Amino acid sequence: MFLPVEYVINYKIKNIIIIMNYPIPREFSEYLLCTSFLLGIAAIITYYNMDYITSFFIFCLFFTSINFWRNPQYNLHRALDMSMCKILGIFFIINSFTFCEFNRVLYNCVLLTGIIYNIIENILWVYDSNKWIIFHLAMHIYVSYFIIFIYYIL
């Protein structure tokens, strides 16, 4: 006896959802989704200041971040978000050489702080502690704050 195709597809989809674990509890992903919207504000400010290349990269990170945190699973959305973070980080490192000495030092301090947050976050994630979410939230806020205020005020 054959099963209807719809039953088989629904059964497979349920198995895939069970196999693909969420990286964090569902209630915490809402906070990370909200802090991802700060990148949208940063992208609008960079566009307003006629820094179109930076604005493009921040918009791309904004869209990939929102796309991932609305339904966080280990799949292509996460890979795109992580890749865009790395691309934007490399872009900011290259872009930092166009600044004066004070801004370059400030830029490198922000980069170093972000790396330290990332290391602590990864250590907590490996030990299966949900406290890594605090460092990821801090990274979202810290980087967005840096882009919005320090990048254009100083």
How far apart, in whole angstroms, are the C-alpha atoms of residue 95 and residue 93?
5
Tell me the CA distances in angstroms from 4 to 1, 13, 140, one per residue in order: 10, 15, 46
The predicted-structure confidence for 16-29, as pLDDT tens digits, reads as follows: 443 345 566 677 78
Per the structure, how many domains does the chain have? 1
Global pTM value: 0.75
Provide φ and ψ at 75, rounded to 5°.
-150, -155
Identify whether the C-beta of residue 39 lies closer than 8 Å to the C-beta of residue 144.
yes
Contact 106, 154 (CB under 8 A): yes
- Asked, for residue 77, whether it belongs to a domain, the answer is yes
User: Which residue, among 132, 150, 9, 141, has the nearest Cα to 92 in the 3D structure?
Assistant: 150
Residue 4 lies in a domain: no
Range of the domain at 120: 23-153
User: What is the per-residue pLDDT across 73-131, written as a single tens digit (0 to 9) for each?
Assistant: 778 888 898 899 889 888 887 877 776 777 777 777 888 888 898 889 888 888 877 78
Q: Is residue 104 part of a domain?
A: yes
